[in-house]
Amino acid sequence: MNNLVVFFAFSILVCLSHAIEVDFCVADRNLPRGPEGYACRDPATLTTDDFVYTGFRGGRTITNVPGNNVTLAFVDQFPALNGLGISMARLDFGVSGVIPVHSHRTSEVLIVSRGSIIAGFIDTNNTAYYRRLEVGDVMIFPQAMLHFQVNVGTTPATAFVSLNGANPAIQFTMNSLFGGNLPADIAQQITLLSNAEVMRMKRAFGTA
């Protein structure tokens, strides 16, 4: 009986363990992505350059209405992240620039490297947690929580974020409601906005 218990306990441990059989798995983006990421490129074809991302270099030109420029270092931009469960992004803000309310599949940690921003998130009890952040300050946004950033300084601002997923995705709330294929009458019902307000928003997103 004791041997049987030991056997089953060992079997459970084996099932729960995830043996690491390769050192890394740089994404082969020529093949389809699966639920766990991309297939691995042949290590024999890799060089040091495959493990270096230079997309955060230099300044940024900001021309969009929200006044931001977001540079992603997700797996599609940096294939070496495949399977590692991490990613990054650079957030640049013009004066009064914002990153509108959005969410990810993952948690996020942010550090301010230039300027001053207000950052915050809203939990499922509709409690908002927000704070003015200065250079060097760090804030965490828990997984799937709606969150935002606003430049409240008198100069441009920059922040860097890290997320615990190679493909965390970004879902902007306003884009989801008014920038996609959701019919205007349904958007009106679920947002309690008037038809005129919904159509104004859809025209702003080019979907009217």
Binding site, annotated residues for oxalate = 104, 108
Tokens of 97: 């620039």
In contact, 38 and 79? CB cutoff 8 Å: yes
Q: How many helices (H) and strands (E) does the chain have?
A: 4, 10
In contact, 110 and 120? CB cutoff 8 Å: no
d(Cα 134, Cα 73) in Å, to the nearest integer?
Answer: 23
The binding site for Mn(2+) consists of 102, 104, 108, 147
Greatest alpha-carbon pair distance for the chain in Å reads 73
